[in-house]
Amino acid sequence: MKLSIITVCYNSAATIERAMASVLSQNYPDVEYIVIDGGSSDGTVDIIKKYRDRIAHFVSEKDAGIYDAMNKGIALATGDIVGILNSDDRYADDSVLSVVMAAFAGGGNSSDAPVDAVYGNIAYFQKETPSTFFRFWKAGIFSRAKMRNGWMPPHPAFFVRRAWYEQHGNFRLDFGTAADYELLLRFMLAGIRMKYIDQTFVYMQAGGASGKNFAARRNAWRMVREAWTVNDARPPLFLIERRLLSKLSQFLFR
């Protein structure tokens, strides 16, 4: 099976080579690598061009934000499976994609039911200390009860059959920084079959637009609730409070 990996970036000269190296060093043999740049002006494009012969598709042009760039990458993807790695992040080791694809193939066990998506864990690092981890997102096995507590699989460690984008749509740009939450909720409400692997797939740099200030965070919370409404589902009571509480263990346990 072919796997498409999409990296989106904008003025990411400080981190893009690290992210790309983690993709290009993977030992899974059939990877289609797609890089979508938002028209960087800081040297990002020059770094990407150093690896142009190992990139299936490279686009550099102005976009409407990170999720618009992801949608462009999805539109170009031809792999059976699609994963997205942001330019600040990196895969935990060179075998991550092989582990993921073995799970889609059933790991050699014909009794395993086919799955639509595979996900794992994430470890967070600060920009200044990329080799030191302070927060661990141990995703756990999906359940409807956890979903109603605001649980989501970690998007950078989430891999899905491309057919799900074709059948259920891409990221909604009107959801801002909650677009990944809305997309994953849409997939789960549609009955996606997911397999959890208790392994750290991605080292993720802390930060992001939704946490820049309280106003941005409050708007993201509003859109999390709205994600249920637009998918014809009633938001659970105290959804945001339950979602925040569920994240506390990420700082307490490894």
Q: Which of 201, 137, 150, 205 shows the shortest CA–CA distance to 178?
A: 150
CA distances from 84 to 94, 235, 244 (A): 16, 27, 24
Residue 116 DSSP code: S
pLDDT confidence tier of residue 75, bands split at 50, 70 and 90: very high
**pLDDT exceeds cutoff 60 at 107:** no
Q: Give the per-residue pLDDT at 208.
A: 61
Sign of CA dihedral 197, 198, 202, 205: positive
- pLDDT value at residue 209: 52
What is the rounded radius of gyration, in angstroms, for the C-alpha atoms of the chain? Answer: 17
Q: How far apart are CA 16 and CA 250, in angstroms?
A: 26
Q: Say what the pLDDT of residue 136 is.
A: 93
Confidence of residue 252 (pLDDT cuts 50, 70, 90): low
Q: Per DSSP, what are the bridge partners of residue 117?
A: 160, 194
pLDDT at 109: 45
Which token pair is 172?
């909604």
pLDDT at 188: 96
Mean pLDDT over the full length of the chain: 92
- Residue 100 belongs to what domain range? 3-252
SS3 labels along 39-57: CCCCCHHHHHHCCHHHCCE
Q: Tell me the CB-side half-sphere exposure of residue 216, using CA atoms within 13 A.
A: 9
pLDDT digits (tens, 9 = 90+) for 193-245: 999 999 999 999 997 654 457 688 888 889 999 999 999 999 988 888 878 87
Q: CATH number, domain at 42?
A: 3.90.550.10
What six digits make up the tokens of 12? 């990411």
224, two tokens: 């999390």
User: Which pLDDT score, from 0 to 100, does residue 112 have?
Assistant: 63
Question: Between residues 253 and 88, which one has the greater pLDDT?
Answer: 88
- Cα→Cα distances 152→44, 170, 247, Å: 31, 17, 11
* Band (54; pLDDT cuts 50, 70, 90): very high
Residue with more model confidence, 253 or 157: 157
If one counts the domains in the chain, the total is 1
> What digits encode the pLDDT tens for the residues 130-175?
999 999 999 999 998 899 888 999 999 999 999 999 999 999 999 9
Q: What is the pLDDT of residue 254?
A: 60
Question: In percent, how much of the chain has pLDDT > 90?
Answer: 80
Q: Sorting pLDDT into bands at 50, 70 and 90, what band is 14?
A: very high
Query: Is the pLDDT score of 248 beyond 90?
Result: no
Closest alpha carbon to 80 in 26, 32, 35, 29: 32
Query: Do 136 and 254 contact (CB within 8 A), yes or no?
Result: yes
The 8 Å CB, 24+ separation contacts for 187-190 are 187/116, 187/117, 187/160, 188/142, 188/147, 189/231, 189/233
Residue for token pair 């074709």: 166
